Amino acid sequence: MPISAPLRTRTPAAAGLAALVLLGCATIRGAEARYSYLQEKLGPYVFQQACLDLWPAALKVVNAKGFPVVGADRERIGESAQGFFSSVISDGFATRSTRDGGLVAETNWNQSVGTRYRIEGTAEGPKGCRVRYIVITGGAQGSTQETVGPDWSMLLDLVAAVDPETAGKVEAGEPKG
């Protein structure tokens, strides 16, 4: 049975769509592989600094990526003090101590991407700290906030800032595309 003309003209478009779908699937698989790799390598990572000493660097990483730290944390990283009005309407909070001797803070919203971060530092002995950057989405436009999970790439940025040798080793072993 011969192929009709309308079907033949759609075939290149269908082939192009199929190629895009396959490319999209490969991109997703690559991102998943990177996430898993970073989780494996950085999940157990403990910084060889007390949380209080490491904390300004942890705050600077998120602030530099467009997720504004709030309250006293702004001055802690060398930014100007936050005004009264902006501190009242901020969804984030400045660094607080936790019961286990760690630290926690939340950034304000990055309005362009609709996310913010919770930064958690857990003391690991007197001179160790485990840091997690937890993504929070949804609330920038007034909807319900949702915790998405850890951002291993943000943690890699912190490792690169304070332990470039380890970061280089992790990046060298990353899965390729």
Instruction: Answer yes or no: is 28 within a domain.
Output: no
Instruction: Answer yes or no: is 162 within a domain.
Output: yes
Instruction: Answer yes or no: is 139 within a domain.
Output: yes
Instruction: Return d(Cα 15, Cα 55) in angstroms, integer.
Output: 51
How many domains, the chain? 1
> Are the beta carbons of 69 and 92 closer than 8 angstroms?
yes
Average pLDDT on 142-165 reads 88
Burial class (CB in 10 A: 0-12, 13-18, 19+), 47: buried
Band (pLDDT 50/70/90 cuts) for residue 149 is confident
Instruction: Answer yes or no: is 30 within a domain.
Output: no
Q: Is the pLDDT of residue 24 over 50?
A: no
Report pLDDT digits (tens) over 59-111.
999 999 999 999 889 888 887 666 654 555 567 899 999 998 899 999 988 88
Domain that holds residue 55: 40-172
What is the torsion angle, in degrees rounded to the nearest 10, for the CA atoms of residue 12, residue 18, residue 21 and residue 27? -90
